[in-house]
Structure 1
Amino acid sequence: MSKPIYNRRRFLGTAAVTGAALTSPVYLRRAMAQSGGEVNIWTYSDFVPESFRKQFEADTGIKVNIRLVDDQGKQFNLLAAEQPNPSVDIMTVAGHRFLQFIDSDLLAPLDTGRLSNWDRINPVFSDGDWATIRGEKWGVPILSGMEVLAFNTEAVSAEEAMTWHTLFSEEYKGQTAYIVQDMMSIVMLMMGYDGNMVAYKNDPERAAAIVEEAKNFLIQKKPLVRKYYDSGAEFQQMMVNQDILLGHSWNGPAAALIQDGFPLGMTIPREGSYGFVYTYNIANNAPNADNAYTFLDAILSSPEIGAAMTQASGFISTYKDATQYLSDLEKKATSFPEDQLARMQFFRAEANDLKYSLVDPAVEAIKAA
């Protein structure tokens, strides 16, 4: 059996071609006034479908200037250096990084009343507890990633994969893998605790006791795991080599294997999981704020646009009904049933200092045990 090396770069290169094939849909056919001017966007590669950009420019007269970013920290530093007169109108910030930007007065609160298409977003993403801070919305959810239980469908049943406990079962001893730091949050969730630690922000003793319990669980289960891995490519290769049959993974590396035909499935187990959401955000003092709102409302106007963003990026669309524009293979790789999505919680940053002051040493203790 041939065992090629799978990687996310190969997957995204293939998916980008699919996304570029999007025909000019009807998402802007309700002709908007020719307002002219420009809108400046900092975002990741393939987050603005090229066909949408061209149609938007043709229908509105607004020129879309895109600057690619590859790191949230770099984007923060650049925007902070430009204040109070930023060159950007729309940025792409992950929801669990909101507080850093908000506390530095880099984002403007989002006026959802100016977005007639706001209701096209799945409420799982638009109404999540991470999305409202200090009574305000701060971003338009566009794409999501999450931690999943990935499994070889020829060896592990779908029912077995519906619980994280299978990952720690004697039956699959030596055939599992996970990122141990990420599993700390998952294990706390399995135990009925808040893996974000927000609930214990004012009770550090309680937080320490919970982390200690999760640490001891993972030490107890350490003889069952084949490997604590670090990268998505490493997870993929272990799956392809059949070194492991199931494991914790981010959905991106798992999706790449599915797209390449490997017999892989992935679930959000019954105990739940954690994820993050990429959002479009309006910069504080944006030079073209009106055009920014015109752009945001337009890009929300059709689930076909959301599907194109998924095809190009490999992340899950936040748009209602976007999956109807995906092939069966794309659906398998980038979508989940509604009942599974409802189990997902989102990473939050309010208690990160407390959380990682406890989790980081716990992880080192697990590895050393």
Structure 2
Amino acid sequence: MTKLIYNRRRFLGTAAMTGAALASPAYLRRAHAAGGEVNIWTYNDFVPAAFKEQFEAETGIKVNVRLVDDQGKQFNLLAAEQPNPTVDIMTVAGHRFLQFIESDLLDPLDTGRLSNWDKINPTFSESDWSTINGEKWGAPILSGMEVLSYNTELVSEEEALTWDTLFSEKYKGRTAYIIQDMMSIVMLMKGYDGNMVEYKDDPEKAAAIVQEVQEFLIEKKPLVRKYYDGGAEFQQMMINQDIALGHSWNGPAAALINDGFPLAMTIPREGSYGFVYTYNIAKNAPNADNAYTFLDAILASPEIGAAMTKASGFISTYKDATQYLTELEKKSTSFPDEQLANLQFFRAEANEIKYSLIDVAVEKVKAS
């Protein structure tokens, strides 16, 4: 098959333009010039370019964005900086809350300072996982899931209905995945609880399961082209046809679909996990007042939520955001009911034992 010629710069330009027509939120029009800055650690496209430009112009607050690609790296960096962090707002996945909270790295969120808190769908803002010790710890902005993404010109839909295809000889050297995330998925493939909640009081069982998964991934290592970290890297490998299929987050995959790339995604029959990204205030944030000004502004309008979905491909948590999406964009953020039945959400109850084992196993797989 002829290799698809695809302009990555054009793709990124298209994604950036999705926020260009944002209506000026009433909150920003009322804001008084505050000055100063706010420092944010977040993923690519989570702060729409048009919103950032408008926010800076109308508040006088400079927004400094540092891109992150891994929750573990972010945790380690924040822990190293305490008690004087350089960051104000960080993007924490809901299932990693406990790790950050128990290490005293986050401040509880004062929702009384957010006049636009009610703009979030209560399915996310009032869910059990978002409240710990009676406190809210983050503002949910986007939700997503771990999927099997595939080039529809190279891989059949039937093949993509099982994770087994990712580890098949047929696609040797043409697959990629985020190894830490795949540890949980391989547990599901083998019939275990990938959240490890069942084993939180049985450390020997937990260690044995992680060892089994580690050995599986080492055995399958000759088949994988690359272990990657971020969504942009996955997109580029797909665009270059370096890979035919791979594990990915649904966001980067949806962004490619919406730009016309021949990609599709499934939630395979063995199951997968969903997650929610939130904006959190760092403990001892140097610009806490500006952080709350930023949070309230970015929550102000469903158009902003839609712009975040358009740019990132993840599903907006904002009420009424879908009315600002095209039919293709809506389609790229939905799945058949029979596949959704295979989905469960990441949980945090066993994170301490889970990640103490998985983080070590990941390094051993990489080093093997």
Normalised-by-shorter TM-score class? 0.7 to 0.9
2:227 counterpart residue number = 230
Deviations 1:192-211 (A, max 9, x none): 42324344233111112323
Which one-letter code corresponds to 1:230 in the other structure? Y
Does 1:48 pair with 2:57? no
1:17 counterpart residue number = 17
Deviations 1:36-80 (A, max 9, x none): 53574222465333544566678xx74333122134358626852
Structure 2 CA distance for aligned equivalents of residues 284 and 238 of structure 1: 37
User: Which of the residues 334, 359, 363 maps onto 1:356?
Assistant: 359
1:207 counterpart residue number = 206
2:151 counterpart residue number = 152
Relative to structure 1, the CA distance from residue 229 to residue 6 in structure 2 (aligned partners, 3 Å threshold; closer, same or farther) is farther
Work out whether residues 3 and 241 of structure 2, in 8 Å CA contact, stay in contact via their aligned partners in 1.
Answer: no
Relative to structure 1, the CA distance from residue 288 to residue 182 in structure 2 (aligned partners, 3 Å threshold; closer, same or farther) is closer
Aligned positions, number:
352
Work out whether residues 92 and 279 of structure 1, in 8 Å CA contact, stay in contact via their aligned partners in 2.
Answer: yes
Relative to structure 1, the CA distance from residue 215 to residue 31 in structure 2 (aligned partners, 3 Å threshold; closer, same or farther) is closer
Query: Where do 1:325-340 residues align within 5 Å?
Result: 325-333=324-332, 335-337=333-335, 339=337
2:187 counterpart residue number = 188
Shift of 1:304: 1.0
Which one-letter code corresponds to 2:108 in the other structure? P
Relative to structure 1, the CA distance from residue 134 to residue 301 in structure 2 (aligned partners, 3 Å threshold; closer, same or farther) is same
Query: Where do 1:99-118 residues align within 5 Å?
Result: 99=98, 101-115=100-114, 117-118=116-117
Structure 1 CA distance for aligned equivalents of residues 180 and 28 of structure 2: 48
Does 1:66 pair with 2:69? no
SS of residue in 2 equivalent to 1:41: strand
Does 1:138 pair with 2:137? yes
Relative to structure 1, the CA distance from residue 75 to residue 245 in structure 2 (aligned partners, 3 Å threshold; closer, same or farther) is closer
Relative to structure 1, the CA distance from residue 208 to residue 284 in structure 2 (aligned partners, 3 Å threshold; closer, same or farther) is closer
Relative to structure 1, the CA distance from residue 47 to residue 169 in structure 2 (aligned partners, 3 Å threshold; closer, same or farther) is closer
Relative to structure 1, the CA distance from residue 236 to residue 287 in structure 2 (aligned partners, 3 Å threshold; closer, same or farther) is closer
Shift of 1:264: 0.8
1:345 counterpart residue number = 345
User: Which of the residues 76, 79, 92 maps onto 2:78?
Assistant: 76
Relative to structure 1, the CA distance from residue 63 to residue 236 in structure 2 (aligned partners, 3 Å threshold; closer, same or farther) is closer
Shift of 1:329: 4.3
Relative to structure 1, the CA distance from residue 99 to residue 306 in structure 2 (aligned partners, 3 Å threshold; closer, same or farther) is same
121-130 or 109-118, larger mean C-alpha shift = 121-130
Shift of 1:108: 1.7
126-135 or 258-267, larger mean C-alpha shift = 126-135
Structure 2 CA distance for aligned equivalents of residues 237 and 24 of structure 1: 31
Work out whether residues 15 and 314 of structure 1, in 8 Å CA contact, stay in contact via their aligned partners in 2.
Answer: no
Relative to structure 1, the CA distance from residue 278 to residue 182 in structure 2 (aligned partners, 3 Å threshold; closer, same or farther) is closer
Work out whether residues 185 and 194 of structure 2, in 8 Å CA contact, stay in contact via their aligned partners in 1.
Answer: yes
Task: Give identity over the alignment, percent.
Answer: 63
Structure 2 CA distance for aligned equivalents of residues 313 and 126 of structure 1: 20
Shift of 1:188: 0.7
Structure 2 CA distance for aligned equivalents of residues 249 and 182 of structure 1: 9
2:71 counterpart residue number = none
Work out whether residues 229 and 235 of structure 1, in 8 Å CA contact, stay in contact via their aligned partners in 2.
Answer: no
Structure 1 CA distance for aligned equivalents of residues 76 and 186 of structure 2: 31
Shift of 1:281: 1.8
Structure 1 CA distance for aligned equivalents of residues 359 and 102 of structure 2: 20
SS of residue in 1 equivalent to 2:257: helix
Structure 2 CA distance for aligned equivalents of residues 269 and 81 of structure 1: 43
1:3 counterpart residue number = 4
SS of residue in 1 equivalent to 2:106: coil
Shift of 1:28: 1.8
1:262 counterpart residue number = 261
Relative to structure 1, the CA distance from residue 338 to residue 324 in structure 2 (aligned partners, 3 Å threshold; closer, same or farther) is farther
Relative to structure 1, the CA distance from residue 104 to residue 246 in structure 2 (aligned partners, 3 Å threshold; closer, same or farther) is closer
Structure 2 CA distance for aligned equivalents of residues 175 and 320 of structure 1: 42
Given the two structures, how large is their TM-score scaled by the length of structure 1?
0.73
Which one-letter code corresponds to 1:350 in the other structure? E
Structure 2 CA distance for aligned equivalents of residues 242 and 12 of structure 1: 18
